[in-house]
Chains A and B, each alone.
Chain A
Amino acid sequence: MAELSLQHIDKIYDNNVQAVFDFNLHVNDGELIVLVGPSGCGKSTTLRMVAGLEDISKGKLLLDGKDITAAPAKDRDMAMVFQNYALYGHMTVYENMAFSLTLRNENPNVIHKKVLAAAEILGLTSQLNKKPAQLSGGQRQRVAMGRSIVRNPKVFLFDEPLSNLDAKLRGATRREILLLHKRLQATMLYVTHDQTEALTLADRIVCMSMGHVQQVGTPLELYDTPNNIFVASFIGLPPMNFFDVVFEDGVLKGKGFEAALTPEQQDILSNYVHKQIVLGVRPEDIAEGGSLPVLVTANENLGMNTLVHGYIGDRSGNRISAKLRGWAEHKNGDRTTMRFTRMHFFDKDTTNAIRKEAK
């Protein structure tokens, strides 16, 4: 049982640079929360504050209702897995995994049982006598995870654990982390800048930018109903297309195109008549055919999908990227037509999403 609560947490460094602003989050028992955002957004700083490796400038950190804001890292009962593994090169896998328990003077037989159980979970049983240098990156990261598992901590903290791995290994290790979470049912906080990791692993995602939380929600919520332009552009690959448009006469008028709206969409934009707004369209919400003229500049076949890049109208128009189903054979300079199957609207000034107000 481990519930973590971060209440109004700020991080202000000695040089008065503020890295985290009013961070609020309640992590339920057994939940896997992913902190995602670009480099320098404060996600690792937040994790380090939770671990006790950084002081909390303001706010409260509660673990199972107990205030641990000022508690030293060793007393927090949390285990952290680092990006660079932090393994002891002169020790075997077994010794690395047993090390923290040996330091605590635990019974060697108990340590042995715990290490073997963790090795079994992580598929490291046959590697226990090897040194870290003899292991692949993925195996080393699993050893680092094993070192955390043997401690049986209340909360697991992961700081970009897959960043040092190549793409194939990253995918495999990501699935292992997911299985591990399902098996241990432990509370986990996971930091990454990779949205694929965030979307595939998280029970809930915390999207951060410039030290501020932009949105907290399930992966589907962040993808489907982003709170603002930042979240909409950060989540989704390729990123969402944005166009400056004006809402007039029931249609959206942009540079070189017009998009018809349903009555429901018109209702959502009822307060924005004759005003400029930002139209967001995900590349996967664009289909071929329709009234949108597109000048193709690049065609990337990915097998199942094709990424088509180009301009709306001509080269002076807005850039557009579409993810079309199937194999397409467009060439640079080809002209085609497309249509939007789904649209998102954002306020031009606040960058917040425009949604139907609850009545």
Chain B
Amino acid sequence: MTQAIEDRDIQLDRMQYVKNTGSSRLCYLGILLNVLYFVSIYKSDVGSWYYQILVGGSIVYNLLFMLMVFLASEGVKNYQTNYSTLLIALGAGQLARIFILPLQAHSAVVKVSGAEVAVMQDFQFIRVVIYLAASAACLIAAAVINLQKSRALAAHLAAKSAGQA
């Protein structure tokens, strides 16, 4: 029991010098899944349905999203709690995105040579939903892990400095 407490103590102490690579790697995975999402969704263009302002906005958001997640990955590496908030917001954004472009494309139908064709087939819809949901899960998990670790580290450092005092 004492050994377990000591091990836990050392683990916490280690966190002062070892970066939170778990959270930052989850962030990178979140970026990768987002890349898979937008590569998949733009591939599904049928007719000219995608030539609209929403897709333009989606492209710009993708760029901003990757930039912000990368920034947050560096922040959580150093146990900075405010980046957890950003990651949770971005994760929620990923979930919300399911109901914007993918859902609209899934329910949209265009006429090609007189025949009605669905812009996004069921299989492709499921795939992009999985990518977005998984990306959101990664970001939220990264945020939660970072919050837990940074709080534990802060408590450990406070206890340590109180002990020294």
Q: Within the complex, what minimum Cβ distance (angstroms) separates A255 from chain B?
A: 68
Binary contact track B1-43/A, C-beta < 8 Å → 1, others 0: 0000001001101101110000000000000000000000000
Q: Find out whether the CB atom of A113 lies under 8 angstroms from the CB atom of B10.
A: yes
Residue A94 at the B interface, CB < 8 A? yes
Q: Find out whether the CB atom of B7 lies under 8 angstroms from the CB atom of A94.
A: no
A115: chain B residues at CB < 8 Å are: 17
Point out the residue from B14, B16, B17 that lies within 8 Å of A109, measured CB to CB: B14
Residue A129 at the B interface, CB < 8 A? yes
In the bound assembly, the distance between CA atoms of A31 and B18 in angstroms comes to: 36
Q: Find out whether the CB atom of B11 lies under 8 angstroms from the CB atom of A109.
A: yes
Residue A299 at the B interface, CB < 8 A? no
Residue A171 at the B interface, CB < 8 A? no
Q: Find out whether the CB atom of B17 lies under 8 angstroms from the CB atom of A94.
A: yes
Q: Find out whether the CB atom of B14 lies under 8 angstroms from the CB atom of A92.
A: no
Number of interface residues of A (CB under 8 A): 11
Q: Within the complex, what minimum Cβ distance (angstroms) separates A257 from chain B?
A: 67
Binary contact track B38-65/A, C-beta < 8 Å → 1, others 0: 0000000000000000000000000000
Residue A335 at the B interface, CB < 8 A? no
Residue A128 at the B interface, CB < 8 A? yes
Q: Find out whether the CB atom of B10 lies under 8 angstroms from the CB atom of A109.
A: yes
Residue A151 at the B interface, CB < 8 A? no
A residues sitting closer than 8 Å to B (CB atoms) are 92, 94-95, 108-109, 112-113, 115-116, 128-129
Known: A109-B11, A112-B14. 9 other contacts (CB 8 A): A94-B18, A95-B17, A108-B11, A109-B10, A109-B14, A112-B10, A112-B13, A115-B17, A129-B17
B18: chain A residues at CB < 8 Å are: 94-95, 108
A contacts with B: majority SS: helix
Q: Find out whether the CB atom of A128 lies under 8 angstroms from the CB atom of B17.
A: yes
In the bound assembly, the distance between CA atoms of A167 and B13 in angstroms comes to: 37
A128: chain B residues at CB < 8 Å are: 16-17
B7: chain A residues at CB < 8 Å are: 109
Q: Within the complex, what minimum Cβ distance (angstroms) separates B165 from chain A?
A: 18
A95: chain B residues at CB < 8 Å are: 17-18
In the bound assembly, the distance between CA atoms of A63 and B17 in angstroms comes to: 36
In the bound assembly, the distance between CA atoms of A228 and B17 in angstroms comes to: 54
Point out the residue from B10, B13, B17 that lies within 8 Å of A92, measured CB to CB: B17
B14: chain A residues at CB < 8 Å are: 108-109, 112
In the bound assembly, the distance between CA atoms of A115 and B16 in angstroms comes to: 13
A113: chain B residues at CB < 8 Å are: 10
Q: Which of B11, B13, B14, B16 has the most CB of A within 10 A?
A: B14
In the bound assembly, the distance between CA atoms of A129 and B17 in angstroms comes to: 6
A129: chain B residues at CB < 8 Å are: 16-17
Q: Within the complex, what minimum Cβ distance (angstroms) separates B79 from chain A?
A: 12
Query: Nearest CB to that of A129 among chain B residues?
Result: B17
In the bound assembly, the distance between CA atoms of A92 and B21 in angstroms comes to: 14
Can you list 19 A-B contacts with CB-CB less than 8 angstroms, sorted by A residue number?
Answer: A92-B17, A94-B17, A94-B18, A95-B17, A95-B18, A108-B14, A108-B18, A109-B7, A109-B10, A109-B11, A109-B14, A112-B13, A112-B14, A113-B10, A116-B13, A128-B16, A128-B17, A129-B16, A129-B17
The 10 closest A-B pairs by CB, nearest first: A94-B17, A109-B10, A112-B14, A128-B17, A112-B10, A109-B7, A129-B17, A108-B14, A112-B13, A109-B11
Query: Nearest CB to that of B6 among chain A residues?
Result: A109
A108: chain B residues at CB < 8 Å are: 11, 14, 18
A94: chain B residues at CB < 8 Å are: 17-18
In the bound assembly, the distance between CA atoms of A128 and B17 in angstroms comes to: 7
Q: Within the complex, what minimum Cβ distance (angstroms) separates A107 from chain B?
A: 9
In the bound assembly, the distance between CA atoms of A112 and B7 in angstroms comes to: 11
In the bound assembly, the distance between CA atoms of A128 and B18 in angstroms comes to: 10
Query: Nearest CB to that of B11 among chain A residues?
Result: A109
In the bound assembly, the distance between CA atoms of A266 and B96 in angstroms comes to: 104
In the bound assembly, the distance between CA atoms of A96 and B1 in angstroms comes to: 32
B49-87 residues with Cβ-Cβ distance < 8 A to A are none
B13: chain A residues at CB < 8 Å are: 112, 116
Query: Nearest CB to that of A115 among chain B residues?
Result: B17
In the bound assembly, the distance between CA atoms of A108 and B15 in angstroms comes to: 11
A116: chain B residues at CB < 8 Å are: 13
In the bound assembly, the distance between CA atoms of A271 and B95 in angstroms comes to: 102
Query: Nearest CB to that of B10 among chain A residues?
Result: A109
In the bound assembly, the distance between CA atoms of A113 and B11 in angstroms comes to: 10
In the bound assembly, the distance between CA atoms of A243 and B11 in angstroms comes to: 69
Q: Which of B7, B11, B16, B17 has the most CB of A within 10 A?
A: B17
